[in-house]
Amino acid sequence: MPHVRRRLAAATAVLAMTATTGAVASPAFADPRETEKSATATGYGGAVSTVDPEASAAAIEVLRKGGNAADAAVAAAATLGVTEPYSAGIGGGGYFVFYDAKTGKVGTIDGRETAPAAMSHDAFINPATGKPYPFTPELVTSGVSVGVPGTPATWERALERWGTLSLGEALKPAIKVANRGFVVDETFRQQTLENKVRFEAFTSTSSLFLPGGDAPAVGSIFQNHDLAETYRTLAKQGTDGFYTGPLAEEIAATVQAPPKSPDTELPVPVGHMTAADLAAYKALDQDPTHVEYRGYDVYGMAPSSSGGTTVGEALNILEPFNLADMPASGALHHYLEASALAFADRAKYVGDPAFVNVPTAALTDPLFGKERACQINPAQAAVPKPVPAGDVTNYDGACPASVAPLADEKDTENISTTNLTVADKWGNVVEYTLTIEQTGGSGIVVPGRGFILNNELTDFSTVYDPADPNRIEPGKRPRSSMSPTIILKEGEPFLALGSPGGSTIITTVLQTILNRVDLGMTISEALAAPRAAQRNTANISAEQEFIDAYASELEPLGHVFTKAGDSFTSLPEIGAATAIEFGPGNRMVAAAEPERRGGGSAMVVTPAP
């Protein structure tokens, strides 16, 4: 695992690199930087959990100055765009879930990227060969994979609906961090080096993230003055400064003609985005998904995300089983089987509801879940997998005699995303997952603007199939697995959580709920526990710790495990969750990963004694 960032001693802060944007020489004592991480923080007055101490500190600063959870979430997200630029930023999109303490209601914003109007059904087919572009690195490192970003519109809409600050005020902490820089840790350097070939393919990217031809050194200070100036544009002009005018023209030009380095061997297929696509973008207000589980009200993100429907359906499938009285291996067997069933239905039914008739009500209906639960054998895993999808047009909660044809899950989502959880002293709660898709997105920095463009359109199915709900369509939002989730108990917040991790986001959130609600773990234990992800595939991706702990009991039931490790980043871990649990007397426990992705950062406004 990468080491946690450590505070640098002022006397030994000697930094080697100099550049206008990038790692620069700067004494660490000139402006104290946030480098220390704590995976759990307990206290009052507000709380935050993110993957990064600078982002968590930005949120806490806003809360201490009287801002609310929406304000603090935007401030943290903007700061993550500086310190975690390979996972998030204004070149991407995401989903924002908000619990309003005044109304007791949960609302959401769909800030997912959209396909350009000129994108064709065969956009991912190489015209020279008639075959799909190889996913890595050709398709992910391209203009054709770039969707119209939704993050700036999400920030502005969240502040309009629920915030107290202007966008400019919420961006101030991020502008400060971008200007004075942050301390490079091993995770940042490692991710840069893993993307070195892709970043070298673009003059704008290599000049920012590979100064002198190498990734910034661990312990150096990385500044991004270009991004600070871009944030200032947004602060002055609002999102009009992003979706219209010179910046919109530059984004479109970058997608249509990526700034390729003369010596790159990557083909870099060009994209179709225009300034008109950017001007037409809208972040969408939507109702959340909702299911009841063990007396809790679980709210999630509706399509275009598949997170709320799939997590919700899996919980409905698990509801009839008394998992708390089972040994851990028995509860995990049911979790894995329920996940496979829910993923089968995800593949068959879920896409952008503007283009596909998504049966959200049926997928989250407890009767449908009860009927799907009939497919779980407590003593045997269903084989072969993938298992069949259920019939959303004909169910009554009784066990059926037959099932529908197989639905083969198509999983092209990558692991790189980030998540944050924020709560304020008034009881408002934010769960926000945002992303640029691949670690390093498309690899393309908009020249002179300091941010990477996403490659989110690779979440569409590669080959066009009219029956596939996730087929490519102009103007469509690709199906996502992001699963920001807020859980209420008797109308009051109990738990908020989410995670990065591509399609393993769903399984991470689901398993964490199982750990906390059914297996009785604390929220910190639930996040730290080893994970396995069954996404309706023959083999289950699992962390080594999970295999060591449970494979001997689960393999005799028919489960087949493979060690987690993405082909692009070779990460042996699943997810990197954040959460806040709410207790008596307004007490909050903020929890982050203790080790995954270098560990997360949990903070509270006023620590408990």
Give per-residue pLDDT as tens, 184-206. Answer: 999 999 999 999 999 999 999 99
Q: Give the integer Cα–Cα distance in Å for 113 and 303.
A: 13
Share above pLDDT 70 across residues of the chain, in percent, rounded to a whole number: 91
What distances in angstroms separate CA 295 from CA 367, 374, 553, one per listed residue?
16, 22, 30
pLDDT attached to residue 416: 66
Q: Give the integer Cα–Cα distance in Å for 541 and 557.
A: 16
Residue 377: CATH number of its domain: 1.10.246.130
Over residues 440-453, mean pLDDT? 98
Quick: pLDDT tens for 454-495: 999 999 998 899 999 999 999 999 999 999 999 999 999 999
Q: Give the integer Cα–Cα distance in Å for 336 and 355.
A: 31
Grade residue 545 by pLDDT with cuts at 50, 70 and 90.
Answer: very high
Over residues 156-167, mean pLDDT? 98
Q: Give the integer Cα–Cα distance in Å for 347 and 351.
A: 9
Q: Is the CB of residue 51 less than 8 Å from the CB of residue 600?
A: yes
Grade residue 228 by pLDDT with cuts at 50, 70 and 90.
Answer: very high
Token output for 504: 């393993």
**Whole domain around residue 515: which residue ranges?**
304-413+502-574
Answer whether residue 154 is part of any domain: no
Q: Where are the beta strands (DSSP E) in 315-435?
A: 418-424, 429-435
Answer whether residue 510 is part of any domain: yes
Answer whether residue 401 is part of any domain: yes
Answer whether residue 320 is part of any domain: yes
pLDDT attached to residue 412: 46
Please name which of 337, 354, 348 lies closest in space to residue 309, comparing C-alpha atoms: 348
18 pLDDT more than 90: no
Q: Give the integer Cα–Cα distance in Å for 380 and 514.
A: 20
What distances in angstroms separate CA 495 from CA 282, 309, 427, 492, 601, one per listed residue?
29, 18, 12, 9, 17
Answer whether residue 83 is part of any domain: no
Answer whether residue 287 is part of any domain: no
Please name which of 573, 575, 589, 583 lies closest in space to residue 523, comparing C-alpha atoms: 589
Place of tokens 């190498």: 214
Over residues 121-145, mean pLDDT? 92
Grade residue 572 by pLDDT with cuts at 50, 70 and 90.
Answer: confident
Grade residue 521 by pLDDT with cuts at 50, 70 and 90.
Answer: very high
Q: Give the integer Cα–Cα distance in Å for 201 and 140.
A: 12
Over residues 501-509, mean pLDDT? 95
Q: How many residues does the chain have?
A: 609
The Cα diameter of the chain in Å comes to 74
What positions carry a catalytic annotation? 417
Q: Is 299 left (phi over 0), alpha (psi -120 to 50) or beta?
A: beta
Q: Give the integer Cα–Cα distance in Å for 593 and 608.
A: 20
503 pLDDT more than 60: yes
Please state, rounded to an integer, the average pLDDT across all residues of the chain: 92
Answer whether residue 447 is part of any domain: no
93-100 and 105-111 as β-strands: parallel, antiparallel, unpaired? antiparallel
Enter the DSSP assignment of 446: P
Answer whether residue 534 is part of any domain: yes
What is the tally of structural domains in the chain?
Answer: 1
Over residues 48-68, mean pLDDT? 98
